[in-house]
Amino acid sequence: MIQFVLKRLGTTIPTFIGVSIITFLFIRLIPGDPILLMAGERGMSDERHAKLLAQFGYDQPLWQQYWDYLSGMLRGDLGISFRTKRPVWDEFFALFPATLELSLCAIIFAVFIGIPSGIVAAIYRGKWPDQLLMSTALIGYSMPIFWWALLLIIFFSGTLGWTPVSGRISLMYFFPSGTGFMLIDAWQSGQAGAFKSAVQHLILPTVVLGTIPLAVIARQTRSAMLEVLSEDYIRTARAKGLSPFRINGLHALRNALIPVVTVIGLSVGTLLAGAILTETIFSWPGIGKWMVESIRARDYPVVQGGLMLIAAMVMFVNLFVDLLYGLINPKIRKS
Amino acid sequence: MALLDVNNLTVEFKTSQGQFRAVDSIDISVDANDVLAIVGESGSGKSVSMLAVMGLLPWTATVTADQMLFNGIDLTTLTAKQRRNIVGKDMSMIFQEPMSSLNPCFTVGFQLREALKAHLPLSRSARKIRAIELLEMVGIPEPLKRLSAFPHQLSGGMNQRVMIAMAIACKPKLLIADEPTTALDVTIQAQILELLLELNQQHDMALVLITHDMGVVAETAARVSVQYAGQKVEEQSVEDLFAAPRHPYTHALLAALPERATGKLLPSIPGVVPGQFDRPTGCLFSPRCQFADARCLADAPLASPDDSTSVRCHYPLSNSASVA
């Protein structure tokens, strides 16, 4: 097991180098000079421009710049943001908990509705529950996220007034951010109503962000279950006189989980990388919004460092998924 | 009274081209402690008829029967839940592919204890003791260690033993073995058959053996039922069947056994089993039968129970004919 983890970690090194080269080159391929953008509409003299370029090291040849960036990263120094003058590292970890909290809630929402829906659809294949669930899933999958978000806001926030429109918690509450997770911090603050407010703020973004993963998980669960349900060992389970609940929920589901866990892992990866639209619509202070603003400002250190950290998170999730395979199906552990 | 008494069992499958009749008015009767072999080519409906008795057919199948009595209980009138109380307890089944018949995600011990838990009021520790006892009974060495093994860690023969242990866990009155040795090595085949017969004799358990291997039939069964294209064409005691087959199909099957071949060429039955669309109007075997005449092609023969033998043929072979 430990050997497997080490081996698997070893394969991430080339991936990291690849990601670092791509992010380094791509941000420089986008037209636009970060120094001029910083200066804004006033512009600046050529002398000052050259001086600033030299100060940030952008007058060096590309390979030299890449080397500085890489060696900095190995020392744990991701650079300093042009815009805020704060270390990239600090900025990332100030914002990341918000994204993580939202992503986890969205994926939990998607898993807890998606998997049972897929199972039910597979059991009633071709009949009305299957058709209803799968066409709903298809609608969920093909709906533009911003439109879906606006519909929900109009109905639940506007007409019914049940949920707030944006942010992570009502402005009435103030407490120091301990863990960075609003639900935990609000709970620990002990202030009356704080936790409820945090939950209310989380509901709509969770539903919006979780909709597409939910649809994907439901469809994947259905097709995996259909395949498994025709296996010999399901017939054996039925020949033992087991209840349908046990057959479908234990014998079949455990075998069907491999492809489902794969799509869950991939979804978590994309959610962590920034739910840009959702974060923008709900003014959620997460890394998706942060990355978009940084790209717009050609904030090289933030884009490079932020992407590296996001890549690390995605790779970590994938490693975790690989380990999960072996736990779900011991046959995979062997090969 | 027979332990299992099925009259006029018919199974039809819904296909995209209409109904397909896989089993055509078959009678099955198994006494307590009996060993019945059901033989026939692939597609003769032998597995399907027993899966119908177990209630394991997919939802595309329609099962009808005049009577389906097991141990005095009419299986056709039971609810799904009542049926589950019988299946796996008093009546159980093992299958052709032991490697794929066990769930790869769970240990052998888990799957064995689960069979016990579903039907018997045993405590956790009692289930474990019984599971070890069962593995010992089916001849698995180091049973305690094997309990925590996964199916892929065991050989095909071992897995089939585990399947048998699972099937006999609740001391069933009837065990249906659906080609239990087809996927196994010849040496293992003999061991598994021996084990099944031993259980049949020592534990008062009737055995239905589905096979296409006449050698297996000769070694194990007391009675043989021969199926062709979903119909039962003949049923006899094993000695009589091998000595004097009455249906031309049985006769041809036996003649095709390599052990009985005299010439250089192995005798074979020309043609194939009729499918969904080329079913003859008369006797289903008539296109392949060397004795068929105009009557055989026009009228379907009925099963005629005469003394201990029932034959579905207009011109059953007499003793002299089978020798010729």
CA distance B200 to B181: 17
For residue B15, list its beta bridge partners: B18
State the pLDDT at residue A163. Answer: 85
Nearest to A211 by CA among A157, A162, A158, A277: A277
Chain A interface disruption, residue of B53, B105, B175, most A CBs within 10 A: B105
What's the whole-number mean pLDDT along residues A9-23? 86
Q: Which among A235, A241, A254 has CB closest to B105?
A: A254
Average pLDDT, rounded, for chain A: 87
Spatial CB neighbours of A331, under 8 Å, sequence gap ≥ 6: B104, B105, B150, B152
- Report percent pLDDT > 70 for chain B: 96
Any idea which residue has 């094997």 for tokens? B146
Interchain contact, A241 vs B88, CB within 8 Å: yes
Q: Which among A240, A329, A334 has CB closest to B118?
A: A240
Q: Which among B85, B101, B167 has CB closest to A232?
A: B101
Average pLDDT, rounded, for chain B: 87
What's the whole-number mean pLDDT along residues B102-112? 94
Q: Are A102 and A281 in contact (CB under 8 A)?
A: no
Chain B interface disruption, residue of A240, A246, A248, A331, most B CBs within 10 A: A240
Cα angle value B16/B20/B23 (rounded, 5°): 155
Interchain contact, B87 vs A233, CB within 8 Å: no
- Which H helix or E strand runs over A63? helix A62-74
Interchain contact, B152 vs A334, CB within 8 Å: yes
State the pLDDT at residue A80. Answer: 85
Per the structure block, which two tokens stand in for B171?
């001391």
State the pLDDT at residue B324. Answer: 37
Nearest to A124 by CA among A266, A209, A225, A194: A225
Higher-confidence residue of A118 and B236: namely: A118
Instruction: Name the region of B25 (left: φ>0; alpha: ψ -120 to 50; beta: rest).
Output: left
State the pLDDT at residue B320. Answer: 46
The B-side interface with A (CB below 8 A) comprises 54, 56, 84-89, 92-93, 95, 97, 100-106, 114-115, 118-119, 150, 152, 163, 166-167
Backbone angles phi, psi at B205, to 5 degrees: -120, 125
State the pLDDT at residue B305. Answer: 57
Q: What is the pLDDT of residues B173-226, one digit of tens each?
A: 999 999 898 888 888 888 889 999 999 998 889 999 999 888 888 888 999 999
Q: Which among A233, A239, A243 has CB closest to B100?
A: A233
State the pLDDT at residue B321. Answer: 47
Backbone angles phi, psi at B73, to 5 degrees: -105, 135
| Strand B73-74 relative to strand B67-70, pairing | antiparallel
State the pLDDT at residue B297. Answer: 85
What's the whole-number mean pLDDT along residues B289-298? 85
Is residue A118 very low, low, confident or very high in pLDDT (cuts 50, 70, 90)?
Answer: very high
Stretch among A12-26, A28-42, A258-272 having the lowest mean pLDDT: A28-42
Interchain contact, B84 vs A239, CB within 8 Å: no
State the pLDDT at residue A211. Answer: 93
Per the structure block, which two tokens stand in for B22?
């896989």
Interchain contact, B105 vs A231, CB within 8 Å: no
Q: Which among B93, B114, B150 has CB closest to A239?
A: B93
Cα angle value A280/A286/A287 (rounded, 5°): 100
Per the structure block, which two tokens stand in for B157?
């023969």
What's the whole-number mean pLDDT along residues A145-150? 90
Stretch among A137-141, B79-83, B150-154, B297-301 having the lowest mean pLDDT: B297-301
Any idea which residue has 């099937």 for tokens? B167
Per the structure block, which two tokens stand in for B23?
């089993």
Backbone angles phi, psi at A23, to 5 degrees: -65, -40
State the pLDDT at residue A58. Answer: 81
Closest chain A C-alpha to B166 CA, distance in angstroms: 8
CB neighbours of residue B19 within 10 Å: 11
**Nearest residue in A to B101, CA atom:** A233
Q: Are A198 and A163 in contact (CB under 8 A)?
A: no
CA distance B233 to A318: 59
Interchain contact, B95 vs A255, CB within 8 Å: no
CA distance A326 to A331: 7
* Coil, strand or helix at B77: helix
Chains A, B: CB pairs < 8 Å: 71
What's the whole-number mean pLDDT along residues B260-269? 80
Flag whether pLDDT at A74 surpasses 60. yes
Is residue B309 very low, low, confident or very high in pLDDT (cuts 50, 70, 90)?
Answer: low
Instruction: Name the region of A170 (left: φ>0; alpha: ψ -120 to 50; beta: rest).
Output: beta
A107-113, Cβ contacts within 8 angstroms, sequence gap of 24 or more: A107/A210, A107/A213, A107/A264, A107/A267, A107/A268, A107/A271, A109/A206, A109/A207, A109/A210, A109/A214, A110/A210, A110/A211, A110/A213, A110/A214, A110/A217, A110/A264, A110/A267, A111/A217, A111/A264, A113/A214, A113/A218
State the pLDDT at residue B301. Answer: 83
Contacting residues of A for B102, CB less than 8 Å apart? 233, 236
Interchain contact, B163 vs A330, CB within 8 Å: no
State the pLDDT at residue B304. Answer: 61
Interchain contact, B104 vs A238, CB within 8 Å: no
State the pLDDT at residue B129. Answer: 94
Q: What is the pLDDT of residues B15-24, one digit of tens each?
A: 888 888 889 8
Spatial CB neighbours of A194, under 8 Å, sequence gap ≥ 6: A169, A173, A175, A186, A187
Angle between helical axes of A62-74 and A2-29 (0-180°, round to 10)? 140
Interchain contact, B95 vs A238, CB within 8 Å: no
Flag whether pLDDT at B323 surpasses 50. no
Residue type, B291: F
- Which H helix or E strand runs over A296? helix A287-296
CA distance A258 to A252: 11
Any idea which residue has 């986890």 for tokens? A104
- Which H helix or E strand runs over B92? strand B91-94
Flag whether pLDDT at B49 surpasses 50. yes
ipTM above 0.90, yes or no: no
Q: What is the pLDDT of residues B89-106, one digit of tens each?
A: 999 999 988 999 999 999
Flag whether pLDDT at A212 surpasses 60. yes
CA distance A91 to A174: 21
Interchain contact, A243 vs B101, CB within 8 Å: no
- Report percent pLDDT > 90 for chain B: 43
CA distance B277 to A127: 29
Flag whether pLDDT at A290 surpasses 70. yes
Q: Are A55 and A76 in contact (CB under 8 A)?
A: no
Rg of chain A over CA atoms, in angstroms? 24
State the pLDDT at residue B306. Answer: 53
What's the whole-number mean pLDDT along residues A169-192? 79
What's the whole-number mean pLDDT along residues A49-54? 83
What's the whole-number mean pLDDT along residues B111-127? 94
Q: Is A73 exposed, middle or buried (0-12, 13-18, 19+ CB in 10 A)?
A: middle
Is residue B11 very low, low, confident or very high in pLDDT (cuts 50, 70, 90)?
Answer: very high
Q: Are B130 and B116 in contact (CB under 8 A)?
A: yes
What's the whole-number mean pLDDT along residues A203-218? 93
Chain A interface disruption, residue of B103, B162, B176, most A CBs within 10 A: B103
State the pLDDT at residue A155. Answer: 93
Q: Are A179 and A97 in contact (CB under 8 A)?
A: yes
Flag whether pLDDT at A107 surpasses 90. yes
The Cα-based distances of A5 to A1, A199, A266, A319, A321 in angstroms read: 6, 36, 19, 8, 12
- Report percent pLDDT > 70 for chain A: 99
CA distance B170 to A63: 74
State the pLDDT at residue A2. Answer: 78
Contacting residues of B for A259, CB less than 8 Å apart? none
Closest chain A C-alpha to B181 CA, distance in angstroms: 16
Closest chain A C-alpha to B252 CA, distance in angstroms: 33
Flag whether pLDDT at A269 surpasses 90. no
State the pLDDT at residue A208. Answer: 92
Q: What is the pLDDT of residues A58-67, one digit of tens each?
A: 888 888 888 8
State the pLDDT at residue A73. Answer: 85
Is residue B322 very low, low, confident or very high in pLDDT (cuts 50, 70, 90)?
Answer: very low
Closest chain B C-alpha to A196 CA, distance in angstroms: 41
CA distance B165 to B167: 5
The A-side interface with B (CB below 8 A) comprises 231-233, 235-243, 251, 254-255, 328-331, 334
Interchain contact, A239 vs B88, CB within 8 Å: yes
Flag whether pLDDT at A214 surpasses 80. yes
